[in-house]
Structure 1
Amino acid sequence: MDRGIWGYAAASAMFLVSLTGEITEAAEPGFYVGAAGGRSEQRLDKGAGVGPLIIATLPRLDPLPDGSVPIRLFPPILVDPVVIPMQPTEVTADQSDVGWNVALGYRVNKYLAAELSYVNAGEASLAERYSAVADAPISVPDVLSTYTVRSTGPAVSVLGSLPLSEQWQVFLRGGVFFAKQEVETRMIVDSPTAINRRPIERDYSDEVFSIGAGIEWAFLPRWAARLEYQRSDDLQSNDIMGESRLDQATLSVLFGL
């Protein structure tokens, strides 16, 4: 009985030694692929609002039917219009979504690697409610001005690693994100008789530096997992939205080729 137990123990020890050796080999120079997913947050500039300030322009009607008229936003030139300034009264933002990326990397040695990846940072949105100024000559409905932004694009980065053991290492990342922002903006008037504008879609591009840090665990030969946090520099503002910044916390799986 004792010999059998010791035999199994010796075989298990030899297997672990062999597995550790294979994991060590997985950290040798060479290509690898990876996929990651997790929480993505696009920090939006709420103070910048959505596009230009809104001014309601109404055709002058006298007398007014039922005390009100349809509101028109940025209509063609009107004859003797009534111009009513609007002011922002409420701003809400949804900045979190699921983000993901896929990567092709090359490990130069156990301390240095380079990666080319495609990043999808998910979607974020901001909504700004406008109301007529207190001394407006005519009562008009509120206007909701919104935009939705989706950020995607390639990224290149360099990783510096510090091995803690045969299976664990910590790393720092530095690189550039070539971001494409797809922005859709629309205005919604809180009235069934209003003339609403159609959504406007525009694309903007920017290149920003990004940094990250994380920990990597080689759990099987040629397989590893990473837990990482990344942050980008501010993406530039445009005629619809203010500056924004990307923060991502992801879990990824890597496979050595």
Structure 2
Amino acid sequence: MLAFLVTGGRLSSRPAQADDGSWYMGVSVGASKSAADAAELDANLAALGYSTTSTLDDTDIGWKLFGGYQWNPNLAVEAALVDLGQVTSRISGNFGDLDAFVADVARVHPYSARGISASIIGELPVAQRFRLFGKVGLFFWDADIDARFELGGQPISFDSKQGVDPVFGAGVKYHINKKTALRVEWKRYEIDRDSVQLFSAGVEYRFP
């Protein structure tokens, strides 16, 4: 929908964007990537007396469900339920006592996480229907580390941790109409030992 204005005797157009004081909700899906490093994991285990060779899968599917309130064209607050997937490793080497090794891995293995974020968002119109935005806030996260021994046995959950750390990001939004917008964004979640980046695309719906 376009609202037309006559300015200086010329016809111009303005995109129909959301009114001030509106609630919205949406969903985004994308790829998460941890800053964890296999060489660093091996170095940390070496410091504990182990000789290991590790491989690390630091990417996974991430998603979030979000909702917020737009105070005015330039300011909003937003909360989101976030899942950053998993960081998976395969470790081989000389372990000695397996129970002690498992406990020591829990001390140094990178986390990924799930949780709830709360952010303040600043927006800037840059073209018809397009807005740039930046956000900063806190991430209330929960993480688990599970182990599976290849020579038999069930998965063992041997560490769980919660924390509160900063989150920040930026993106671009395209208003299809007054109620619906598409967004592409990047966010970085600080999680205790490492950070996780989420690159996502999603849709946002505003209520009247």
Q: TM-score, normalised by structure 2?
A: 0.78
The correspondence of residues 113-132 of structure 1 with structure 2, limited to 5 A, is 113-131=76-94
- State the alpha-carbon separation in 2 of the partners of residues 169 and 17 from structure 1: 18
Q: 1:127 to 1:225 in 2, by over 3 A?
A: same
Per-residue CA deviations over 1:212-238 (Å, capped at 9, x if unaligned) read 0111110123000111011122x22xx
What is the RMSD computed on CA atoms of the aligned residues? 3.2
* Alignment match of 1:100 (pick from 63, 83, 87): 63
Does the CA contact (< 8 Å) of 2:36 and 2:110 recur in 1?
Answer: no
The correspondence of residues 196-207 of structure 1 with structure 2, limited to 5 A, is 199-207=156-164
Q: Which residue of 1 aligns with 2:41?
A: 48
1:183 is the counterpart of 2:175: no
How many angstroms does 1:169 deviate by? Answer: 0.7
- State the alpha-carbon separation in 1 of the partners of residues 43 and 162 from structure 2: 18
| 4+ runs deviating over 6 angstroms | 50-53, 143-148
**Unmatched runs of 5 consecutive residues or more in structure 2:** 5-12
Structure 1 residue identity aligned to 2:142:
K
Q: 1:111 to 1:37 in 2, by over 3 A?
A: same
1:36 aligned counterpart, secondary structure = strand
The structure with the largest alpha-carbon Rg is 1
Q: Which residue of 1 aligns with 2:3?
A: 17
Does the CA contact (< 8 Å) of 1:31 and 1:256 recur in 2?
Answer: yes
- State the alpha-carbon separation in 2 of the partners of residues 197 and 120 from structure 1: 24
- State the alpha-carbon separation in 2 of the partners of residues 93 and 86 from structure 1: 17
- State the alpha-carbon separation in 1 of the partners of residues 35 and 86 from structure 2: 11
Q: 1:247 to 1:113 in 2, by over 3 A?
A: same
Q: 1:42 to 1:27 in 2, by over 3 A?
A: farther
Q: 1:51 to 1:196 in 2, by over 3 A?
A: farther
1:221 is the counterpart of 2:178: yes
How many angstroms does 1:117 deviate by? Answer: 0.8
- State the alpha-carbon separation in 2 of the partners of residues 39 and 210 from structure 1: 16
- State the alpha-carbon separation in 1 of the partners of residues 68 and 41 from structure 2: 38
How many angstroms does 1:112 deviate by? Answer: 0.3
The correspondence of residues 169-180 of structure 1 with structure 2, limited to 5 A, is 169-180=131-142
Does the CA contact (< 8 Å) of 1:50 and 1:128 recur in 2?
Answer: no
Identity score, percent: 20
The correspondence of residues 135-154 of structure 1 with structure 2, limited to 5 A, is 150-154=112-116
Q: Which residue of 2 aligns with 1:8?
A: none
Does the CA contact (< 8 Å) of 2:111 and 2:194 recur in 1?
Answer: no
- State the alpha-carbon separation in 1 of the partners of residues 205 and 14 from structure 2: 17
How many angstroms does 1:131 deviate by? Answer: 3.7
Per-residue CA deviations over 1:54-101 (Å, capped at 9, x if unaligned) read x9xxxxxxxxxxxxxxxxxxxxxxxxxxxxx8521x210011111100
2:84 aligned counterpart, secondary structure = strand
2:16 aligned counterpart, secondary structure = helix
1:39 is the counterpart of 2:31: yes
Q: 1:198 to 1:38 in 2, by over 3 A?
A: closer
